Structure 1
Amino acid sequence: MTISVDQRPTRIVVDLDRIAGNLDRIRTHTGTPAMAIVKANAYGHGLVPVARRLQQAGVDQLGVAFLEEGVALRRAGITVPILVLGGIFGPQVGQFLAHDLEITVSSLDKLRQVEAAAEAMGTRAVVHLKVDTGMERIGVHHYSAAAFVEAAVASRWCEIKGIYSHLACADDPTSAMTALQLERFLEACAHFDRIGARMPLRHLANSGGILHAPATHLDLVRPGIMLYGVLPDPAARATVEVAPALSLVSRVVYFKVVRAGRTVSYGATWAPTDDTRVVTVPIGYGDGYPRALSGRGQVLIHGHLYPVVGRVCMDQFMVDIGHDSAFNEDEVILVGEQRGAMLRVEALAEAAGIIPYEFLVGLNDRIPREYLPPVEA
């Protein structure tokens, strides 16, 4: 068999149909439309391929963090509505309008910037008003929202499509913060009714809200990490059955017997107490596999779990297989399923002392991605 130069033995495999299936289950559970969040390279899964599959699946809306992500989607032929969730940079506003991107307006000053750009271009801007109910990140404070809402309603150049906030603690189903934020948000939204204005789409629920707080589902939900089949926090309850879409796969590239007492990898932090068999896997922290998994990570080989030993290197790491056998080119599963055994992102992130989000978005473009079914350009 001839292997081409671009067929690195380490690869990410993304099941796009699983993502579409997760979207269906989320919408069925909430009974609302969904804004699928595809920021940060679709949480490491691949921005454009994921967006194309979601568009095929009839997604209601997409959400990204930055203008550049929205522009990349438009250039790839994505036509569904796209909201840029991040704070806007004034000089870029014209580009939002030129690429038909919906804008987060988070202050009176930002509203004026958008109005000026829209008037100059002779077009109306589609905006979502951002209310801060407890994050202290971006958005008008909930207790100051009345004047903000009135100014937006009066604007000749802005069409208010939505109003939203972001939940700070919804990943934890026991947190009282979620109910408090919902109360603050609904009070801010009520000002539309007080002034006799049309109520825009109210959206508040992220993955944690979808899982744990039905009262936050409102008119639209914003699934992020759960869209990819990963729970947001160890405390999260799997109230919606979602399937992991990403597998991280590599191959054995070296096998050796390491004698008792001989140290392995940088820093000489680990040595076997008895003679053992060690294999090398060609992936490291240069690819985004966390160095914090040194001595803590596990992999699957032939359906059995084996420990990562010694320090994870930039481009490779070592695995102790004891007295078992493994041969060069044998498959190694870092995330995913093999012979009925499973290694989940959530468990690896916990072992590394990070959150699942950080694990996924850290997997960089040095690792080639394959898609099931294959993606047409």
Structure 2
Amino acid sequence: MSVASAQRPTRILVDLDRLAGNLEAIRAHVRVPVMAIVKANAYGHGLVPVARRLEACGVDRFGVAFLEEGVALRRAGVRAPILVLGGIYGPQVAQFLAHDLEITVSSVDKLRQVEAAAESAGRRAAVHLKIDTGMERIGVHHDSAGPFVEAAVASRWCEVKGIYSHLACADDPASPMTAVQLARFLDACAHFDRLGAPMPLRHLANSGGVLHFPETHLDLVRPGIVLYGVLPAPASRPTIPVRPALSLVSRVVYFKVVRAGRPVSYGATWAPPADTRVVTVPIGYGDGFPRALSSRGRVLIGGRAYPIVGRVCMDQFMVDIGSDSAWNEDEVVLIGRQGEAEIRVEALAETAGLIPYEILVGLNERVPREY
């Protein structure tokens, strides 16, 4: 038996060629530089393999959430500019500088923290100014941005590479909030003109902005989930021809006949009304497959969809195949295509009462990934 065949039958398959194709489709649509968002393990696809492939495709920049993600990319040899999007924690600033990571500065106090660390290290810090235009998360309020921009422009130890905000409702092309946020953001950016300072990179568009609001594309876009071929919300429109890059597959590991009335799984929440055939699949909520799919989700076996029955366990769940046949080691598709049938992340999320992001980032490192 080979090492490959002896590995766990449940695995994530990531199509890096399809990912590269999605990047090209986004570039053709927006016609401005792209910052690929690879936070949260590249939305479950694998931080380092995804970043390496995108860098080989010439992506302009990367965005991550935390210092640790940026450091992991640098240690993997990624050389493109990397912006850490999250709020900074003062004692970490020296590590940002040591690994040549761009820093989100979200207040004058944070700016002073970065200045002090940069002066101590004897090197200038690359920063992006965060403006709050409606999220109330981090960032200086748009109507108080003047002194913030002025302090950043005057800084001896900070080089302002960008200014940005985040769209709260761009997943919905009908939402009026995006126009309000864009106007607020452009008003904040105008302080650079007032000061006679060079305008840094202005970036605002997340996946929803990329898909629906070309006026938000400005100097740079930040696609996240759409880069991986998944739409961010039910209201989102597929305005770019992207394709899912991730599949989740497993194998049948047990077959049995369950007699009428005999309950299946924890809590005895489901029992067949008549004798039926049930197979067991070795993946569960311990891998990030949602327990909310208990007696609600479906999987593909032999190109047909069958229902998950009973509660999803930590490591396994059961599937009712009725009077059909399935054999041990038959492929089971949880996300992806099998024959003419397909289960998309968006549909899985809707069934589970979640959002597509939660499905993808919930798939943890217990599930091996193949590229």
In which range does the TM-score fall when normalised by the shorter chain? over 0.9
**1:2 Cα deviation (Å)?**
3.9
Alignment-mate amino acid for residue 285 of structure 1 = Y
Deviations 1:20-48 (A, max 9, x none): 11111101101110000000000000000
**1:4 Cα deviation (Å)?**
5.4
Deviations 1:198-247 (A, max 9, x none): 00000000000011111100000000000000000011000011010000
Deviations 1:170-197 (A, max 9, x none): 0011111101000000000011111111
Write the distance in 1 (CA, Å) between the matches of 2:306 and 2:166. 40
Query: What is aligned with 1:291?
Result: 291
Deviations 1:48-73 (A, max 9, x none): 00000001000000000000000000
Deviations 1:113-143 (A, max 9, x none): 1111111111111110000000000000000
Secondary structure at 1:18 match in 2: helix
Query: What is aligned with 2:361?
Result: 361
Which segments of 5 or more consecutive residues in structure 2 lack a partner in the other structure?
A: none
Query: What is aligned with 1:49?
Result: 49
Write the distance in 2 (CA, Å) between the matches of 1:32 and 1:323. 55
Matched, 1:145 2:145: yes
Write the distance in 1 (CA, Å) between the matches of 2:167 and 2:182. 8
Secondary structure at 1:204 match in 2: strand
Matched, 1:345 2:348: no
**1:301 Cα deviation (Å)?**
0.3
Do the aligned partners of residues 196 and 2 (structure 1) sit closer, same or farther apart at CA in structure 2, a change above 3 Å counting? closer
**1:106 Cα deviation (Å)?**
0.4
Q: Structure 2 matches for 1:166-245, cutoff 5 A?
A: 166-245=166-245
Alignment-mate amino acid for residue 272 of structure 2 = P
Deviations 1:334-377 (A, max 9, x none): 00010121100000011000100011000000000000xxxxxx
Query: What is aligned with 2:254?
Result: 254
Write the distance in 1 (CA, Å) between the matches of 2:329 and 2:122. 60
Write the distance in 1 (CA, Å) between the matches of 2:3 and 2:276. 31
Write the distance in 2 (CA, Å) between the matches of 1:131 and 1:229. 28
Query: What is aligned with 2:19?
Result: 19
Query: What is aligned with 1:374?
Result: none
**1:265 Cα deviation (Å)?**
0.5
Write the distance in 2 (CA, Å) between the matches of 1:30 and 1:160. 24
Secondary structure at 1:127 match in 2: strand
Alignment-mate amino acid for residue 126 of structure 1 = A
**1:274 Cα deviation (Å)?**
1.1
Alignment-mate amino acid for residue 188 of structure 1 = A
**1:79 Cα deviation (Å)?**
0.4
Runs of 4+ in 1 over 6 A off after TM superposition: none
Secondary structure at 2:88 match in 1: coil
Query: What is aligned with 1:130?
Result: 130
Write the distance in 1 (CA, Å) between the matches of 2:17 and 2:86. 28
Do the aligned partners of residues 114 and 6 (structure 1) sit closer, same or farther apart at CA in structure 2, a change above 3 Å counting? farther
Alignment-mate amino acid for residue 201 of structure 1 = L
Alignment-mate amino acid for residue 101 of structure 1 = L
Deviations 1:236-287 (A, max 9, x none): 0000110100000000000011111111000111111111110000000000
Query: What is aligned with 2:70?
Result: 70
**1:5 Cα deviation (Å)?**
8.2
Which segments of 5 or more consecutive residues in structure 1 lack a partner in the other structure?
A: 372-377
Secondary structure at 2:175 match in 1: coil
**CA RMSD of superposed structures (Å):** 0.9
TM-score (norm 2): 0.99
Alignment-mate amino acid for residue 66 of structure 2 = F
Write the distance in 2 (CA, Å) between the matches of 1:2 and 1:30. 46
Query: What is aligned with 1:161?
Result: 161
Question: How many matched pairs?
Answer: 371
Query: What is aligned with 1:327?
Result: 327
Write the distance in 1 (CA, Å) between the matches of 2:227 and 2:159. 29
Alignment-mate amino acid for residue 239 of structure 2 = T
Query: What is aligned with 2:116?
Result: 116
Secondary structure at 1:238 match in 2: coil
Alignment-mate amino acid for residue 68 of structure 1 = E
**1:333 Cα deviation (Å)?**
0.2
Q: Structure 2 matches for 1:270-309, cutoff 5 A?
A: 270-309=270-309
Write the distance in 2 (CA, Å) between the matches of 1:219 and 1:189. 12
